[in-house]
Chain A
């Protein structure tokens, strides 16, 4: 049963374009995340939000920015995509302030292809 919803499922775009991905969770969780999964399936955290405040911001390029309207939504905007941005972007949520001893619930991902 899906509780973290991501749109779109796929997106193909040209270098330099701006893209935006949406994520919504219906679990009532306080924390949401964006992960990047590359072609080798490596998972790398990009951002996490707790109650609309950024609490983790790993070293990601400035062209990436998270956007949250409320604790149930966390979107990801990429200002000017580069070829190396091609990946699957996974949104996740957890109940509390962080992930220690808590379960991460992932969406099914948005696959971005940059031509």
Chain B
């Protein structure tokens, strides 16, 4: 059973637009939600994360919106740049176990 789902599978935006990446999860016990960013030829790296006690987390142009009741969260990338082109993984964690979504491939066109 897929514990974490992401949509869309791929997303193309123009430079300067806001990219919105969606994530949903099954297990209401998940308490920590990191987003990882992966560039071609590299391993994933933590981009931003949120705990289930919060509903919003900002870090520069990156913002996580979290809806615990609906078991959904989203990553907003404001003023998208071509350098943001990467694969983004939503993950959920509880009890020392982490589950990754299938990723969203983002392309930002100049």
Q: Which residues of B contact A (CB under 8 A)?
A: 31-32, 34, 36, 38, 41-46, 49, 51, 87, 89, 93-98, 100, 102-103, 105
Out of B38, B45, B98, name the residue touching A100 (CB < 8 Å). B98
A100 touches B43 (CB 8 A): no
A100 touches B96 (CB 8 A): yes
B43 touches A109 (CB 8 A): yes
CA of A40 to CA of B105, assembled, Å: 10
CA of A99 to CA of B89, assembled, Å: 15
A41 touches B43 (CB 8 A): no
- Name which residue of chain A comes closest to B36, CB basis: A104
A106 touches B100 (CB 8 A): no
B98 touches A99 (CB 8 A): yes
A90 interface contact, C-beta 8 A? yes
Size category, A interface: 20 to 34
B87 touches A100 (CB 8 A): no
- Name which residue of chain A comes closest to B42, CB basis: A108
User: Which A residues lie within 8 Å of B42 (CB)?
Assistant: 106, 108-109
A-B pairs with beta carbons under 8 Å apart, 13 shown: A40-B102, A41-B102, A43-B89, A45-B98, A98-B97, A99-B96, A100-B93, A103-B49, A104-B34, A104-B44, A105-B45, A106-B45, A108-B43
B94 touches A43 (CB 8 A): no
B97 touches A106 (CB 8 A): no
User: Which B residues lie within 8 Å of A100 (CB)?
Assistant: 31-32, 93-98
A40-76: contact bitstring with B at CB < 8 Å (1 yes, 0 no)?
1111010000000000100000000000000000000
CA of A107 to CA of B38, assembled, Å: 11
Q: A43-B44, A106-B43 are known contacts. Are A101 and B32 too (CB-CB below 8 A)? A: yes
